[in-house]
Chains A and B, each alone.
Chain A
Amino acid sequence: GAVVSQHPSWVICKSGTSVKIECRSLDFQATTMFWYRQFPKQSLMLMATSNEGSKATYEQGVEKDKFLINHASLTLSTLTVTSAHPEDSSFYICSAFDSGRAINEQFFGPGTRLTVL
């Protein structure tokens, strides 16, 4: 149980295009999901908190108009990188809390490798 998937696992796009990344909780409901980005050899940087049915909460320094987050259902959150540029190339990881569990524990997706040419 507690499986989180991401799609696609990797994507290459041209500069200026938009890319959508999906994060799904496969066997549980998640009212809260998080989006992280990770540069090579670095730690995970929290980008935003995604809450089902409401606006995402972005961390300081993260452009909300560039990284659009939608959490339309209890099992799906999407991250859209708009007008992508090479500096947006990174490993994007999502995580989700199981709403049915009492203990604070995130379950992580396998990540999406974005390369912007």
Chain B
Amino acid sequence: AQSVTQLGSHVSVSEGALVLLRCNYSSSVPPYLFWYVQYPNQGLQLLLKYTSAATLVKGINGFEAEFKKSETSFHLTKPSAHMSDAAEYFCAVSEGTSYDKVIFGPGTSLSVIP
């Protein structure tokens, strides 16, 4: 069974600083991996996804993530934080088959300090 852990339920960074949100997964088969962002009282927006192509995945809003099989990690980064990046971030995994269910991590709340 798949599972996702996110180290740090809350991360705080200064505006302009590097953003690093950690995600580790467990899967018995090659996974598909996702990062989603959620703003208060809204649904989820896909930031980026890994689907067994390039290990470094670039997403929207300047975010990127690197798939490291040896570390079973898929950490999310952004070189320079913006105030608008403050939100809840979820890492998610699926088994990579079409229409398979997606399991979400517990989430990391990102605060950006001006």
Q: Which residues on A are within 8 Å of B, measured CB to CB?
A: 4, 6, 31-32, 34, 41-46, 49, 91, 93, 95, 97, 102-106, 108-111, 113
Contact = CB atoms under 8 A, between A and B. Distances in A.
Interface stretch (B18-26, B57-65, B68-76, B101-109): B101-109
B43 A93 contact: yes
**Chain A interface main SS type:** strand
Contacts of B46: 105
A102 B20 CA distance: 30
Contact of B42 (A31, A42, A104, A111): A111
Q: What are the 6 A-B residue pairs with the smallest beta carbon separation, nearest first? A: A108-B43, A110-B43, A108-B44, A32-B99, A44-B104, A97-B99
Nearest to A93: B43
A8 to B, nearest CB: 14
Nearest to B105: A43
A104 B101 contact: no
B104 A105 contact: no
Interface in B14-57: 32, 34, 36, 41-46, 49, 51
A108 B42 CA distance: 10
A103 B42 CA distance: 24
A104 B44 contact: no
Nearest to A103: B51
B70 to A, nearest CB: 23
A87 to B, nearest CB: 20
A6 B44 CA distance: 13
A4 B99 CA distance: 16
Nearest to B4: A43
Given A105-B46, A109-B43, A111-B42, A42 B107 contact: yes
Contact of B100 (A44, A93, A104): A104
A97 B45 CA distance: 14
A7 B109 CA distance: 27
B104 A31 contact: no
Nearest to A33: B99
A104 B90 contact: no
Contact of B101 (A43, A49, A111): A49
Nearest to A104: B32
B84 interface: no
